[in-house]
Amino acid sequence: MDTRTIGTRGEDLAAAYLEQQGYRILARQYRFERAEIDLVCFEPAPRPEDGGEIVFVEVKTRRGLGFGRPEEAVTPEKQRHLIRAARAYLYEHHLQRARCRFDVIAIVLHDDRPPEIEHFRDAFWAG
């Protein structure tokens, strides 16, 4: 499997996982300039009157741990790119006042067992 195929597989797994958790996928691979947000989601609040929040999700997928944990690849520079793209998304969709957060989903694919999926809520802050 090449890196593009691994990445697409990871995004598909992450989207399915989030939908099972009650999230709604709003966009996949949203691009702004050179930055890309893998998944833009909406997570409804437990009580409908509380609304919910927009969740910008970075998905990192690996075939093993030889190069470290997937979530370690979300560097401060990558976070800056994601924040800039998220601001553009919010502006473009007139959602500047919406509650939002940044999550990371780390996936490790295995040949002999199901993939490991770890969800890091509020992985970093836009400040």
Q: Is 8 exposed, middle or buried (0-12, 13-18, 19+ CB in 10 A)?
A: middle
- Give residue-wise pLDDT tens across range 83-92: 999 999 999 9
* 96 or 64, greater pLDDT: 96
- Nearest residue to 69 via CA among 103, 40, 106: 106
Domains of the chain (ranges, CATH numbers): 3-124 (3.40.1350.10)
Q: Is 5 exposed, middle or buried (0-12, 13-18, 19+ CB in 10 A)?
A: exposed
pTM confidence score: 0.93
